[in-house]
């Protein structure tokens, strides 16, 4: 008859019970940092000349980051709630309604005139806006860094 004893079984069980918390903490830290880097890349590079040139800065300032931790999943979302972000990201072809407004003119029939404010009636305008991906392209550019960082975070959490 052969008898075997496992030495250190209590320490092993304790280590295994703390492993999920260590992995979760490491991944949360890594994914939060990656989300911040992605948001910064979109704002500083993609919306400042690489893909789109900033005119008013409203699209750039609308880029936001949300970290969701639900169950065992951790997700970082970089998004925009701007009205025209989707049209820039995916392109747009169709008709838009332009509402009535006031317009200041300083030229009429190609000749300069004294400034005058005129009423503009509402009208429909056809638009054909090409796709100018700033979110998806930034994510694709960061794909290798994301894979590497998540792998490093997992390795560090397991080896502690």
- Residues 33-88: tens digit of each pLDDT: 999 999 999 999 888 888 888 788 899 999 999 999 887 788 999 999 998 899 99
CA-based torsion, 41, 45, 47, 50: positive or negative? negative
Domain positions in the chain: 9-86+132-159, 92-129
Distance (Å, whole) CA 42 – CA 55: 15
Given this model, what pLDDT does residue 51 score? 85
Report the percent of the chain where pLDDT is more than 70.
87
54 vs 126, which has greater pLDDT? 126
Confidence of residue 155 (pLDDT cuts 50, 70, 90): confident
pLDDT of residue 96: 93
Name 100's Cβ contacts closer than 8 Å, sequence gap at least 6. 119, 120, 121, 122
Round the CA-based radius of gyration of the chain to a whole number and report it.
27
What tokens appear for 83 in the block? 């009205």
Residue 38 tokens read as 């992605």
Question: In this structure, are residues 84 and 127 in contact, taking their beta carbons and an 8 Å threshold?
Answer: no
- pLDDT recorded at residue 16: 57
**CA dist., res. 132 & res. 109, Å (int):** 35
């Amino acid at each position: 008859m052969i008898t075997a004893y496992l030495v250190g079984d209590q320490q092993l069980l304790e280590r295994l019970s703390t492993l999920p918390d260590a992995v979760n903490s490491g991944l949360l830290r890594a994914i939060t940092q990656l989300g911040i880097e992605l948001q910064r890349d979109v704002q500083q590079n993609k919306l400042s000349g690489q893909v789109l040139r900033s005119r008013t800065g409203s699209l750039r300032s609308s880029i936001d980051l949300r970290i969701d931790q639900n169950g065992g999943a951790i997700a970082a979302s970089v998004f925009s709630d701007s009205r025209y972000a989707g049209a820039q990201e995916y392109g747009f072809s169709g008709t838009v309604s332009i509402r009535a407004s006031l317009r200041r003119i300083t030229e009429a029939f190609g000749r300069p005139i004294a400034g005058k404010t005129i009423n503009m009636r509402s009208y429909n305008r056809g638009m054909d806006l090409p796709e100018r991906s700033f979110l998806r392209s930034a994510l694709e550019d960061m794909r290798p860094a994301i894979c590497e960082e998540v792998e490093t975070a997992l390795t560090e959490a397991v080896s502690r």
